[in-house]
Structure 1
Amino acid sequence: MYTFIAGIILLIIGYFTYGKFVEKMFGVNENRSTPAYTNQDGVDYLPMNSRKNSLIQLLNIAGVGPIFGPIMGALYGPVAFLWIVFGCIFAGAVHDYLTGMISIRNRGAHLPELAGKFLGKVMKHVVNAFAILLLVLVGTVFVTSPAALLHDLMGGWSTMGLIVGAIFLYYIFATLLPIDKIIGRFYPIFGALLLISAIGIGISLVVTGAPIPELSLTNLHPDNAPIFPLLFLTISCGALSGFHATQTPIISRTTQAEKQGRKIFYGMMIAEGVIAMIWAAAAMSLFNGSTGLNELIANGGAAAVVSEASTLMLGAVGGTLAVIGVIVLPITSGDTAFRSARMIIADYVSFSQKKIVNRLWIAVPLFAISFALTKIDFELLWRYFSWANQSTAVIALFVGAMYLYIAKKNYWIPLIPGMFMLMATTTYILNAPIGFGIELSTSYVGAAIISAILIALFFYAAKKNRANSIPLEDDVSGWNKVA
């Protein structure tokens, strides 16, 4: 219990201390106009207040990741708390803040465009393909997982196919309509439901004295379960997630002022870390240890853990509301995943999105591909998503490091977690059956060599970019800030 409570307290302290430090290091310009005004188009670019943007950002980034990931990560024991807390403060929130703020400084640009500007033109094409793949995977995963929860919640009386179709129908409207029509109106309500349900379970865990295990030297490294690299890919959302780099530009295009960035980007990642801590604690304490948890996951997946934990902690009515909150999470991230994919493709081919028919030309093929992917085994999709997700986080952290290097600021803040995750993702793909299937010890060596080469190339490019004075931001002179 003490480890869990201390972790929550550290996350909150991290927002007010390290978050403030990162904000000061970046250097907020309160007089600079944001893309919400300079590029206003009434569809994707338009100003919304910070409360609304914060709750939308939370729902955008918090899919099933901060719930399903920590539930799976709970199998490693209390060491999962360490990654959630320190990963969130020093990696995930830094990743989200820098991605959002650099996007604001560059017309609300998405990650592929930022990668092209700061890491080279080749990287723009690579990251564009990678980001679209990730977003389609996310959109697909976030169709099947809430569909399964809804199917269970309704007692199985409705077919999975009908539920999947209904979710896709909602995605079409949310992806195509202006951001203030559905997302801007309903997400703040959904965000409140998400927070209330998570906090309710967290309070119940404390009040009932649930046997949440404490971190100790003996359980720091679970037997027969090497935590590196698997733990750092299993728990992504809630600690560090590249998916967020595809979502923050949505809100960078609706942010009224740069001074709101810490609350919207850094703060909502901390909120997601709190949600992750609560679900990891519930998974560790309610099912008679890792053996019972493993059996429940094997029989019904992480969704079964969500349903069981919600009912145990909050009763039938409260548990149902909590499950609804969890269902909302992936749906409200799935629609913005498709929205981001549409925007990235439109930016890449310079295709205006003011007319709805133009949006349809991009969105319809994306939905068709995603629907076909729903026929593939969920667990296989999740494994590919985990690797693609954290690889995207590495790219985003290196973009942030390059920006700060050119600006002659503290680039180590994003570069250190970026180097760590580069080693983790490379080790994983070398070792995993979905990758090269190389023995783990050999994968460590191979990953170290590959990481060293890529880091050396980063510094070579960084020195060259600084010497060439690569522009850090778009010129918005002549625009009056309206906020």
Structure 2
Amino acid sequence: MPSVMYFFLSVAVLIGGYAIYSRVIERMFGADNCKDTPACTMADGVDFVKMKPWKIFMIQLLNIAGLGPVFGPILGALYGPWALVWIVLGSIFAGGVHDYFSGMLSVRHEGKSIPDVVGANLGNGFKHFMRYFSVILLLLVGVVFVTGPAKLLASMTGIDLLTLVLIIFAYYFMATILPVDKIIGRIYPLFAVILIVMAVGLTGAMIVGGYEFYPSAHFANQHPTGLPLWPLMFITIACGAISGFHATQSPMMARCVPNENCGRPVFYGAMIAEGIIALIWATLGMSFYQTPEALNAALTAGGPGKVVNDVSITLMGPVGGILAILGVVVLPITSGDTAFRSARLTIADVFGYSQKANINRLIIAVPLFVVGAALSQVNFDIIWRYFGWANQTLATVVLWAAAAYLVRRGMIHWLATLPATFMTCVTVTYLCFAKIGFNLPMDISTGVGIAVAVGSLALFLTQRKQFAAQPV
């Protein structure tokens, strides 16, 4: 089989997973088109605004994408083709499940933010924990998605980095406080065109240019510096497989969906689309550079941003390359703005503080941006390392919440329980092994991860009767 066919086979599996498995998940959830959604019952012209499904899909895709499905898969490509396997299987059986439930459970709970959604399914203890945890995560995301695109734009334009940071912060502030359909609802569909150019254009250019796909790939840990595949790859490739950040974004669109049948294409579908973007960039990392060593040399010279620049300009020329690079700039900016917006909504939900009045939104938004500006002075790499663990930990908690909901519905909870158990093992092992954690040996870290994962599963199974006794 020609190597390029492995790429198209992976894409086909992702699309097939959406066509089949998403319908299973939708049935287990119990989507009911006759139920009124928050966009219908709580419309306020600011955050609860009914929109067309195709527009909500585009916004959701851009909300969740960020730098994750570009930078993460480029770094993950160093591990070899196992990265492709994780992207495909993770998107279908973990990320899609996670995103669908985080969105649709919010629809069922008056468009509430993810802490309230988790609390309704796992109890008040988890709700209070998630309130702090999710706001901190959103602030980290917002800051990371200021510095990342600012650096890339600075390298392209020569404009001073601080000037670009201030411009991006100003845009984020406006997108945070204005009604969702005034900026986000109007410009995101235009940005989606750039994404299409990036994805289709770069893949087509690879084929037309006669590049061999995956020239040195084989199923072993190919990382040039010997970094362990387990569990690092599952933290490195988050967006594009499963990402807790998505759970903070889905409730924002849950306030805009006109009916529950929109959930499958909007939430699960956007995850699969992001998986395809991640697949493209992992493929580019393994194919444009002939060996993992060559890719690692490019990363050492200038990080993932240099890889994006080199690949885009070489494959698509100056005009097409700039469009492709802009696509990568758009991705983080269209997540950074909604990260701050979601943080505002989460804090408002905590205090039951109406956001219809302009002054109410400013009271929350201004302190958020002051803290964000302070965090922007912290080293980007340090923030990103902590974000990776926090991101996947949030995803794990949301999967457990989805499992509890399925138990109450009398449905097959294993659809959420199995990925929740796996991600518990990933996050605990990483925390034990990583230098930002306990810096333990890998064998001990893995043992602790397995023990905590099995213990979590056992605890969940013993609580099934209590979950089942609660109303749906």
| TM-score strictly above 0.5 | yes
Aligned partner (choices 65, 68, 71) of residue 68 of structure 2: 65
Alignment of 1:377-388 (within 5 A): 377-388=379-390
The ranges of structure 1 where at least 4 consecutive aligned residues each deviate by more than 4 angstroms after the TM superposition are none
Q: Deviations over 1:392-424 (max 9, x none)?
A: 000111111110111101111111111101000
- The residue matched to 1:295 in structure 2 has which SS? helix
The 1-side partners of 2:191 and 2:455 are apart by: 45
TM-superposed deviation, 1:27 = 2.1
- Which whole-Å CA distance do the structure 2 matches of 1:3 and 1:402 have between them? 37
Aligned to 2:26: 23
| 1:13-47 C-alpha deviation (Å, 9 max, x unpaired) | 11111112222222221111000011111110010
Amino acid corresponding to residue 443 of structure 1 in structure 2? S
Aligned mate of 2:145, from 142, 145, 148: 142
Query: Which of 89, 107, 123 is equivalent to 2:92?
Result: 89
Unpaired runs of 5+ in structure 1? Answer: 473-483
Q: Take 1:167 and 1:381, find their aligned partners in 2: how far apart are those partners? A: 18
2:199 corresponds to: 198
Please give the alpha-carbon distance, in whole angstroms, between the structure 2 residues aligned to 1:72 and 1:249. 29
Q: TM-score, normalised by structure 1?
A: 0.94
Q: Determine which of 260, 263, 266 is the counterpart of 2:262.
A: 260
Q: Any idea what the Cα deviations from partners look like across 1:330-388, whole Å, max 9, x if unmatched?
A: 00100000000000000011111111111111111111111111111111111111100
- The aligned counterpart of 2:212 is 211
Q: What is the number of equivalent residue pairs in this alignment?
A: 467
Residue in 2 aligned with 1:164? 165
Opposite residue 243 of structure 2, the aligned amino acid is S
- Match of residue 356 from structure 1: 358
1:481 alignment counterpart: none
Kindly indicate whether the alpha-carbon contact (under 8 Å) linking 1:427 and 1:444 is maintained by their aligned counterparts in 2.
yes
Letter in 2 for 1:219: F
1:124 counterpart (127, 131, 137): 127
Partner Cα distance (1:215, 1:419) in 2 = 33
Give the corresponding residue for 1:408. 410
Deviation of residue 254 (structure 1)?
0.1
Give the Cα separation in 2 of the matches to 1:450 and 1:413: 20
For residues 182 and 109 of structure 2, the distance between their equivalents in structure 1, rounded to whole angstroms, comes to: 25
Pairwise mapping of residues 95-114 of structure 1 onto structure 2 (< 5 A)?
A: 95-114=98-117
The amino acid that maps onto 2:214 is P
| CA deviation after TM superposition for structure 1 residue 9, in Å | 1.1
In the alignment, residue 163 of structure 2 is paired with which amino acid?
Answer: L
Cα distance per residue 1:264-303 (max 9 Å; x no partner): 1111111111111111111111123111111111121111
Q: Following the alignment from structure 1 to structure 2, what is the Cα–Cα distance between the partners of residues 215 and 13?
A: 28
- Residue identity in the other structure for 1:261: G
Q: Which amino acid aligns with 2:80?
A: G
Q: Which residue in the other structure is 1:454 paired with? A: 456
In 2: Cα distance, 1:134 partner to 1:460 partner:
31
Equivalence for 2:79:
76
Give the corresponding residue for 2:188.
187
Distance (whole Å) between structure 2 residues aligned to residue 215 and residue 409 of structure 1: 44
CA drift of 1:214 comes to 6.7
Which residue, 44, 48, 53 being the options, matches 1:45?
48
Aligned partners of 1:352 and 1:23: how far apart in 2?
Answer: 31
In 2, are the aligned partners of 1:62 and 1:329 still within 8 Å (CA)? yes
Which letter does structure 2 place at the counterpart of 1:201?
A: L
Alpha-carbon distance in structure 1 between the residues aligned to 2:95 and 2:215:
24
Tell me by how many angstroms 1:211 deviates. Answer: 2.1
Q: CA separation in 1, counterparts of 2:106 and 2:210?
A: 44
The residue aligned with 1:478 is: none
Question: In 2, Cα distance between the equivalents of 1:377 and 1:300?
Answer: 16
Is residue 2:471 matched to residue 1:471?
A: yes
Distance 1:179 1:204 in 2: 36
Question: Aligned letter for 1:94?
Answer: V
Conservation of the 8 A alpha-carbon contact between 1:141 and 1:378: yes
Q: Larger deviation: 172-181 or 226-235?
A: 226-235
Cα drift, residue 262 of structure 1: 0.9
Deviation at 1:462, TM superposition (A): 3.2
1:152 matched to 2:155:
yes
Q: Counterparts of 2:388 and 2:411 in 1: how far apart (Å)?
A: 31
Is this contact kept in 1: 2:36–2:259, CA < 8 A?
Answer: yes
CA-based RMSD: 1.3
2-structure distance, mates of 1:94, 1:306:
30
1:329 corresponds to: 331
For the residues of structure 2 that align with 1:101 and 1:115, how far apart are their CA atoms? 12
Q: 1:243-392 to 2 correspondence within 5 Å?
A: 243-392=245-394
Offset at residue 445 of structure 1 (A): 1.2
1:41 and 1:443 map into 2 onto residues whose CA distance is 49
Aligned-pair CA distance for 1:202: 1.4
Q: Does 1:6 align with 2:9?
A: yes
Contact 2:13–2:88 (Cα < 8 Å) also in 1: yes
1:111-164 per-residue CA deviation (whole Å, 9 max, x = no partner) reads 10011111111111101111011100000110011001110110x2x1100000
**Residue 465 of structure 1: how far off its partner (Å):** 2.5
Judge which range, 328-337 or 107-116, deviates more.
107-116
Cα distance, 1:215 vs. partner?
A: 9.1
Q: Secondary structure at the match of 1:17?
A: helix
Q: Output the CA distance in 2 between the equivalents of 1:324 and 1:221.
A: 32
Shift of 1:452: 2.4
Structure 2 length as normaliser, TM-score?
A: 0.97
Q: Which amino acid in structure 1 is aligned with residue 428 of structure 2?
A: T
